[in-house]
Chains A and B, each alone.
Chain A
Amino acid sequence: MKWIGAALIASALLLPPFFAGDFYVNLASQILIAGIFSLSLNLLVGFGGMTSLGHASYLGVAAYISALLTARYGFGHGAAAFISVTGTVAMAAFFGVIALRASGLGFLMITLALSQVLWGLAYRMSNVTNGDNGVTGLTRPSPFGISLDRPAAFYWFTLIVAIVAFLMMAIFVSSAFGSSLKGVRDQPRRMAALGFNPWLVRWITFVYAGFWAAISGLLYVYYHKYIHPTSLSTTSSAEALLGVIAGGAGTLGGPAVGAALVLLLKNYVSAYIERWNMLLGLVFLFIVLFMPAGIVPGFSKLIAAVRGERR
């Protein structure tokens, strides 16, 4: 049963470039990028109990830095990527210090406020960011001289990054540090009494989540070859958060499934149904009512029940 599942996932990841048209390969790339982003948000929401409504900041800022450095200041992709990720991580470190003064709703409001500041800057500081017009004329990098302009090539590149990201985050949450993170999420007082520093555990996780959001931001800007302030908006943060919750916060695969769902509804179903937002709402309503823990935990429960009945 486990092998069948693994084979299904592997074929879903490996087959698109061979059989599907460019539209679907591109859609698959976008799902992978959104998946990495959701997984990074899940470190905060699912494993850390820190519900952030400003996670798009890290995706957006990384994308903007890379876009501006390559398009305006003539940096190479390698240097731009390095500066972009380093800068975004530094920002996450700083924002973490501010946001982690609070927890729960307070934390959520601070992350929201900080992301609104960045979104406002991207809109209004038009001499730098080009405001509402966004930054255009971007290129994709060519790692080891391989051009990523073809959809299939870009898909393979994204897939490799996504697999590394997934493994790294999976190792992170199951490590000794991951155990303390989950402990701090559930019982911060007890963890402090046992010798753990809850604040530092949260802060390190916040910065690490910022790092992977920055990576997804780079892929995002490489894919679109364009960046606009909406990537920094609350809507972007909220969509990712919906994906995490719908897929199953605190599970490894859930957020990726949730991200795929949101993206499919947004980019695929919207071509057939004009009011796709309404459908999105209905789907979430269904999930909340029938699988309150999310799609992945919901289905595993269902499968377990079916197997139990067969026995």
Chain B
Amino acid sequence: MTDAVEYALEVVNLRKAFGGLTVTQDVSLKVRTGERRLIIGPNGAGKTTLFNQISGDLRPNSGLIRLFGAEITYLPPYQRAHCGISRTYQIITLFAGDTLEHNVSLGLLGLRPSRWQMWRPISFYPDMRSEARRALDAVGLLHLAEHPISDIAYGERRRVELAVALAQKPRLLLLDEPLAGLSNAERSTVKSLIGSISRDTTVIMIEHDMDTALDLAETVTLLNYGRVIVDGPRDVVIADERTREVYLGG
């Protein structure tokens, strides 16, 4: 009873408007601890906006967000990171001039008190180095650890992005289109990577590539015009008439 909170994430009646345009309308979600959730919906459905409110980049106009039972609705992003949320971005935002290892190390540093420490470089922390290299190894990029991000290909950058997030050992991982722009071979690599994430981490994923993503998901939420249209177990949502209508263009 003590360690297992039933829901990793609860979103209650969330609402967000930019001027007259409401991009999140009364969204409510419950994601169980350890669950794999896929969020789908056409372009402009408000998927990334929802992510941005969960990670704290955007403040909702009203509603509640709870992380493992604790309210985080108005917490700044960096505090949410310390509460166990990690995310990846749709548009890759790595540090292009720095090495892969440095990029992953920054993710580790962000959660450690040593980020305030002003006399020793990151490279002086052997445990952080080895942990960063382990994370890179997990995504199959250890051999490129010393290369700058600008040297590596787009698909590899996606994997670094994933390595940064996974190195933080998040309790809740938000993946914003982790397969976007990848080749078929890369897709299956990243797919098996996501598939191998420990069950201690709850995963919520936005993805357009239904063929690949559906295999990874247990539950699916369909958004359209900022509203939750259908929400439930994968097969139920796929079979639903409204999914066909909105998303599969049927």
Contact = CB atoms under 8 A, between A and B. Distances in A.
A196 interface: yes
Interface string A222-248: 000000000000000000000000000
A187 interface: yes
A187 B76 CA distance: 16
Contacts of A183: 95, 106
Contacts of A182: 95
B93 interface: yes
Nearest to B96: A186
Interface centre among B55, B57, B106, B164 (most CB of A within 10 A): B106
A182 B89 CA distance: 20
Interface in A144-178: 171-172, 174-178
A183 B115 CA distance: 12
Nearest to B89: A190
A194 B81 contact: yes
Contacts of A180: 106, 109-110, 115
Contacts of A192: 56-57, 76-78, 81
Interface stretch (B20-28, B118-126, B212-220): B118-126
A186 B121 CA distance: 18
Interface string B161-199: 000100010000000000000000000000000000000
Nearest to A172: B118
A186 B95 CA distance: 8
B122 A176 contact: yes
A117 B57 CA distance: 35
Interface of B: 55-57, 76-78, 81-82, 86-87, 89, 93, 95, 102, 105-107, 109-111, 114-122, 125, 164, 168
What 6 A-B pairs come out closest when comparing CB atoms? Answer: A195-B110, A194-B110, A195-B81, A192-B77, A190-B93, A177-B118
